């Protein structure tokens, strides 16, 4: 399903904001076509984003942008050669090639208190890549599962984006829950909602897939006042319904 026409200016503003935020970081999984590194130069391949290149090379997104004169929203092209200044990192382990564990920043004090809103798991499955607030870290969680299994709205809200125009995210749904909260659901197989549609908590919005990823999974984000927060801090225990 491609993105439909947005129904009104508020939705357009919300999408512009959310898209800008998401471009700053998605999952740390490698795309199906890995980029090639040669010394301090990285050649962009299909499916790459600046964030993924940062993960692969150990160079922060900020440094990649500075070294290569790239400004937001950090658009890159296949075949483009980028200067890098880090060593290759192993995304799955969170360790650099030297074996040192990457630093993970502590939660920000501006995050909302647990229990302020009632969230539910968007799908079932094992978290294969957790949230990291480190520079260049994963700004959501990646959940493994089976192709076609249900993806549901983590909370009630309005769909502000349903489409596949964001490279590296595949079929993506974004839901605005209030002026403070937006959730994102990436790499879906099929999308079952449209822009402007109101959804209930737990309502099926998509099916799990592998679009924009190298395996079947869901990349899920919760953003609070433009900041990506750790979903697992706010979700109920795995397999449990919310108690609120």
Q: Are 183 and 155 in contact (CB under 8 A)?
A: yes
Phi, psi of 171 (to 5 degrees): -75, 115
In the chain, alpha helices (H): 9-23, 50-57, 61-68, 231-234
Instruction: Among 72-76, 105-109, 155-159, 223-227, name the one with the lowest average pLDDT.
Output: 105-109
Q: Is 60 exceeded by the pLDDT of residue 23?
A: no
Instruction: Give me the residue label for tokens 């795995």.
Output: 238
Q: Are 184 and 177 in contact (CB under 8 A)?
A: no
Query: Domains, the chain, ranges and CATH?
Result: 114-234 (2.70.70.10)
At 195 the pLDDT is: 94
Q: Which residues contact 129 (CB under 8 A, 6 or more apart)?
A: 27, 28, 29, 91, 92, 138, 141, 142
User: In terms of pLDDT, which residue wins out, 5 or 233?
Assistant: 233
Mean local confidence (pLDDT), 178-187: 95
At 20 the pLDDT is: 54
Question: What's the pLDDT tens digit per position in 27-46?
Answer: 344 333 334 444 588 888 87
Question: What's the pLDDT tens digit per position in 124-179?
Answer: 999 999 998 776 778 899 999 999 999 999 999 999 999 998 878 899 999 999 99
Whole-number percent of the chain with pLDDT over 70: 73
At 109 the pLDDT is: 60
Query: Where does residue 213 fall: left (phi above 0), alpha (psi -120 to 50 degrees), or beta otherwise?
Result: beta
pTM attached to this predicted model:
0.63
At 187 the pLDDT is: 96
Instruction: Give me the residue label for tokens 């790239």.
Output: 70
* Burial degree of 112 (CB within 10 A; 0-12, 13-18, 19+): middle
Mean local confidence (pLDDT), 46-68: 79
Long-range pairs of 122-127 with CB within 8 A, sequence gap ≥ 24 = 122/151, 122/152, 122/153, 122/154, 122/183, 122/185, 122/218, 122/220, 123/149, 123/150, 123/151, 123/152, 123/208, 123/218, 123/220, 124/149, 124/238, 124/239, 125/149, 125/208, 125/217, 125/218, 127/232, 127/238
CA-wise closest residue to 210 among 128, 94, 89? 128
At 41 the pLDDT is: 87
Q: Is 70 exceeded by the pLDDT of residue 203?
A: yes
Mean local confidence (pLDDT), 204-212: 96
CA–CA dist 170, 163 (Å, integer) = 8
pLDDT band per the 50, 70, 90 thresholds, residue 106: very low
At 35 the pLDDT is: 43
Strands 150-152 and 204-208: antiparallel
CA-wise closest residue to 107 among 133, 136, 138? 133
Mean local confidence (pLDDT), 98-111: 48
């Amino acid at each position: 399903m491609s993105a439909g026409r947005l129904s009104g200016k508020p939705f357009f503003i919300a999408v512009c904001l959310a898209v800008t935020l998401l471009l700053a970081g998605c999952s740390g999984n490698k795309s199906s076509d890995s980029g090639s590194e040669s010394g301090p130069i990285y050649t962009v391949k299909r499916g790459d984003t600046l964030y993924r290149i940062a993960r692969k090379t150990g160079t922060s997104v900020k440094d990649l942008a500075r070294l290569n004169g790239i400004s937001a929203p950090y658009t890159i092209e296949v075949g483009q050669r980028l200067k890098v200044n880090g060593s290759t990192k192993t995304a799955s382990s969170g360790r650099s090639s030297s074996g040192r564990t990457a630093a993970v920043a502590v939660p920000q004090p501006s995050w909302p208190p647990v229990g302020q809103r009632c969230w539910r798991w968007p799908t079932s499955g094992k978290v294969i890549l957790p949230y990291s607030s480190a520079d260049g870290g994963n700004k959501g969680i990646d959940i493994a599962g089976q192709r076609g299994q249900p993806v549901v709205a983590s909370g009630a809200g309005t769909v502000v984006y349903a489409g596949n125009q964001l490279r590296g995210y595949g079929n993506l749904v974004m839901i605005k829950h209030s002026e403070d909260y937006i959730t994102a659901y990436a790499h879906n197989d099929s999308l079952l909602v449209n822009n402007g549609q109101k959804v209930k908590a737990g309502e099926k919005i998509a099916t799990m897939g592998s679009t924009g990823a190298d395996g079947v999974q869901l990349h899920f984000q919760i953003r609070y006042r433009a900041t990506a927060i750790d979903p697992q801090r706010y979700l109920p225990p795995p397999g449990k319904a919310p108690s609120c």
